[in-house]
Chains A and B, each alone.
Chain A
Amino acid sequence: MSTLRLVAVGWWLQLKMRSRSSFDGLLSIVYPMFFATTIFFMYRENGDEAALVSAAVGASCMGVWSAVSTTASTTLQGERRQGTLELLVGSPTSFSLVIVPATVSMATIGLWSLVATLLWGRVVFGIPISFDQPLVFVVAALVLAFSLGLVGFLQAVSSVRYRSAWALGSLFEFPVWLICGFLVPLSILPDWVRPISWLLPPTWGVAAVRDAALGGNAWPDIALCLLTGAAYAVIGVVLARRLVDSARVNATLALT
C-alpha cells in the first residue's frame, strides 16, 4: 500500500511541477500539432476519408511519445542540476519507484496533446471522428501513456551517464513514430523492421487506440502493450540498480 501511495504521490507531484511552465506546456501541445497538421494536409490531398480518420487517430498519439522521448532522457540530469539526485539515491525508497512516476507524468502531459490533436482535426479539418468504443478508447489511451512512461523510465536510467542526454532523447522521436505504426502501416516497412516494432509498446498501444476508435477488438493489443511496457520496466529496474551502485562505488553520481 505504501508503495502505491509513493507512486501516486510522486506522479501527482511531478505532474504539478511539469504543469508549471507555460512555455513547456505550450510546446508539448503545439509542437506535435505542427506534424499532425502536415499529416492532415497530406491525407486530405489523397481524398480517402477513412484513411484520414485513421491518420488522425495515429497522429493524436504522436504527442504522447513526443512528451516522453526528449524529457525522459533529461530526467536524471535535471535532478542532478537541482542537487536532488543524491537525496533520491540516498533515500531508503527504491530509486526506480521515484523515477517511474516522473516519466509516467510526462506521458500524462502528452495526453493533453492527444485530446488537442483530435479536437484540432475535428474543428479545423472537419475530420469526422466518432469513437466506436469510447470507454475502451480511454483505457487504450491510458495504457499507451502508461507504457510509454515505462519506456521513458528505461530511457531515463540508461542516460544517467550521458551529459547530452537530451540529444539522445530527440533522436528517438522520429524512429518510433516511423516504425510503430502511428501513421505508417507496418506492412509497407521493410521486413526486418517488423520484429523491432513488435518489441516496442507503442506498436501495440497505437493499434489498440485505433481499434477502439475505428472498431475492432482492442483488448489483445492493450494486453501486449502492457506486457511489453512491463518488460521495459523490469529491464529499467535492473539497469537502475547497477548504474546507481556503480555511480556510488566510483563516486560519480554528481560528476558526469
Chain B
Amino acid sequence: MLHIVNKSSFERNSLKSCLNTIDDTSVMLLIEDGVISAAKNTNAPMIADLAVQGRVYALQGDVEARGISSKLADNIKLVGYAGFVDLVVEHGTAVSWV
C-alpha cells in the first residue's frame, strides 16, 4: 500500500494515525504540508525508523516550496510528480490520511 500524508505533524495527527496502522510492506509519501515531517525537527524521530528502511518518500516540489531542502532528515527519498505516479502504480491501494 501507499500511505499519503499531507498534513504537518505539528498541526494534525495524520502522521501519527498513519504510523499506527501502516504495515511492514507499505511505504509512505509526504506531500503538501506533510513534507514538514521530512525535515530535521523535534518530530523527526516519528518516521526515522521507517526512513532507515527506505520507506519514506517526500514530494520534491513541496519540500522546495517550503524552503526545507537543506534541512531534510536522513534517508528521505525525494520524488517528483512522475515519481508520485510510479509509487501509486507500484504499491497498490493508496490511502490518503486527509
A binds B: no
